[in-house]
């Protein structure tokens, strides 16, 4: 394992195996799956849906896991802290990350719950319907977080806020990161997360985070307003860098009173899985390497555009080459 002090970006998140399958809208109706959103499911439902999937593709996923993998493929030193059981999927997850060059400092654990998995059904229009069994990954606590903090970026995901242990782990990790000379980043993850944990999120963004990333719906939900400008103004008043993706419209990044933008070229999605995760990968790569925020945002846009053009949540081409083609590096 690399020297922890040398990690450019460290992620803490739900170590989730993505199980991806094409599906028809009729199938979604028959199975009672709401199209286009993430639903939490219990273990028996997870087993039923897994068995119903045609031509499954399994990949190490989880929102922050996907982001960290994308940053690692761009050449930075990365580590991902997530909890998996020492079952077949957990061992697959750990090996996949390490094979791709991302350190996985918390080895598979002897715990009761199986490794987390998300059954993702992709409709012909590219919409993803996610059915997530939280499993072992949701039980991460401060005790599970090794001391790997340094002067880089720490990236956290809102999905882990559903348990108090996760909230505590985040705050403690951010404090340790700051003490080591690093910066902390959060992704809101989902409007439902913002709704459920509004007070905690707002406190975390104001007190512990240097950078916060969300989409328009997440920001407006968090600040309880229909005015996106107002939501971002409130966030930027308490957090150094605030990034907002706007589903096909130009990305906005706010730092104090300064607005940076990155235009988006419309792409017909094959599979929207991972678009937000890869935006974060490109954006944080740019921030980590000291690029101006408009350039970092453009890197994020290019990573998101690449990943929605095919099945699966991670890029299939060398994104550093794409950045070079666009004159960004």
**Residue among 65, 62, 60, 67 nearest 89 (CA):** 60
Which pLDDT tens digit goes with each residue over 235-252?
999 999 999 999 889 999
User: What confidence tens digit (pLDDT) does each residue in 187-233 have?
Assistant: 998 888 899 989 999 999 999 999 999 999 999 999 999 999 999 99
Q: Which residues contact 3 (CB under 8 A, 6 or more apart)?
A: none
φ, ψ for residue 188, nearest 5 deg:
-65, -30
| Backbone angles phi and psi of 311, in degrees to 5 | -70, 140
Token pair recorded at residue 175: 């404090």
Predicted TM-score (pTM) of this structure? 0.89
Query: pLDDT (tens digit, 9 = 90+) per residue, 102-115?
Result: 999 999 999 999 99
* CA–CA dist 139, 100 (Å, integer): 25
| Chain centroid, CA 314 distance in Å | 11
What SS3 state is found at 130?
A: strand
| Domains contained in the chain, CATH given | 4-13+69-107+141-325 (3.40.1190.20)
The residues pairing with 40 across neighbouring beta strands, listed in sequence order, are 132
Task: Return d(Cα 283, Cα 128) in angstroms, integer.
Answer: 23
Two tokens at 303? Answer: 């990573």
Segments in 84-137 forming alpha helices (H): 88-99
How far from the centroid of its chain's Cα atoms is residue 311's Cα? 17
Whole-number mean pLDDT of the chain?
Answer: 92
| Averaged pLDDT, 276-296 | 97
Instruction: Give the model confidence (pLDDT) of 105-142 as tens digits.
Output: 999 999 999 999 999 999 999 888 999 998 999 888 89
Per the CB < 8 A criterion, the answer to whether 132 and 106 are in contact is no
H-type alpha helices, 56-213: 63-73, 88-99, 164-179, 191-196, 198-207
Residue 182 is classified by DSSP as -
DSSP, residue by residue, 249-274: EEEEEEETTEEEEE-------S--TT
């Amino acid at each position: 394992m690399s020297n922890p002090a040398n990690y450019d970006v460290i992620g803490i998140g739900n170590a989730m195996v993505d199980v991806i399958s094409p599906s028809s809208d009729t199938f979604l109706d028959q199975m009672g799956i709401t199209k286009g959103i993430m639903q939490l499911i219990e273990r028996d439902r997870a087993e039923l849906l897994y068995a119903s999937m045609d031509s499954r593709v399994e990949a190490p996923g989880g929102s922050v896991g996907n982001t960290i993998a994308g940053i690692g493929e761009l050449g930075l030193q990365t580590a991902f802290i997530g909890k998996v059981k020492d079952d077949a999927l957990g061992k697959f997850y750990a090996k996949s990350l390490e094979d791709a060059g991302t350190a996985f400092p918390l080895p598979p654990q002897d715990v009761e719950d199986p490794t987390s998995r998300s059954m993702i059904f992709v409709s012909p229009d590219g919409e993803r319907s996610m059915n997530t069994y939280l499993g072992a990954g949701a039980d991460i606590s401060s005790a599970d977080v090794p001391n790997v903090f340094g002067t880089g970026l720490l990236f956290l995901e809102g999905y882990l806020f559903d348990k108090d242990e996760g909230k505590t782990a985040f705050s403690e990790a951010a404090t340790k990161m700051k003490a080591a000379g690093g910066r902390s980043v959060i992704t809101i993850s989902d409007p439902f997360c913002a709704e459920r944990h509004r007070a905690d999120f707002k406190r975390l963004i104001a007190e512990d985070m240097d950078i916060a990333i969300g989409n328009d719906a997440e920001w407006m939900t968090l600040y309880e307003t229909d005015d996106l400008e107002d939501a971002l103004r409130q966030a930027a008043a308490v957090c150094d860098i605030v990034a907002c993706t706007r589903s096909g419209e130009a990305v906005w990044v706010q730092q104090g009173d300064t607005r940076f933008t990155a235009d988006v070229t419309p792409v017909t999605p094959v599979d929207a899985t991972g678009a937000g995760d890869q935006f974060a990968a490109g954006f944080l790569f740019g921030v980590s390497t000291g690029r101006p925020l408009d350039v970092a945002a453009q890197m994020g846009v290019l990573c998101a555009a690449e990943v929605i053009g095919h099945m699966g949540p991670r890029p299939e081409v060398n994104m550093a080459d794409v950045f070079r083609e666009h004159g960004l590096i």
